[in-house]
Amino acid sequence: MATTATIEQQARDPTIRYDRQVRLWGVSAQAKLAQTQVCLLGASAAGTEALKNVILPGIKGYTIVDDKKVTPDDLGTNFFVEPTSLGESRARVTSALLQELNELVEGNFLEEVGSCAHLATLTPTCHTHTHTTDALARSLAVSRCLQDPVVLINDADRIKWFLQFNCVLVHNLRDKDLLTLANFLAQHNISLFSITTNGFLATLRVQAPELCGACSVAAALPHSLTLALSLTVRVDCHQ
Reading phi first (left if > 0) and then psi (alpha if -120 to 50, else beta), residue 42 is in left
Q: How far apart are CA 85 and CA 221, in angstroms?
A: 52
User: Residues with Cβ < 8 Å from 77, sequence gap 6 or more?
Assistant: 44, 45
The CA-to-CA distance between both ends of the chain, in Å, stands at: 56
Report, as an integer, the average pLDDT of 194-212. Answer: 87
Q: Domain ranges for the chain, please list them.
A: 10-210
Higher per-residue pLDDT: 126 or 63: 63
What is the percentage of the chain residues whose pLDDT exceeds 90? 55
Q: How far apart are CA 8 and CA 217, in angstroms?
A: 48
pLDDT beyond 50 at 237: no
Closest CA to 178 of 204, 214, 147, 198: 204
Q: How confident is the model at residue 210 (pLDDT cuts 50, 70, 90)?
A: confident
Q: What is the pLDDT of residues 34-59, one digit of tens each?
A: 999 999 999 999 999 999 999 999 99
CATH fold of the domain at 10-210: Rossmann fold (3.40.50)
Query: Is 52 within 8 Å of 69 (Cβ atoms)?
Result: no
Angle at 85 between CA 83 and CA 87, to 5 degrees: 110
Q: How confident is the model at residue 81 (pLDDT cuts 50, 70, 90)?
A: very high
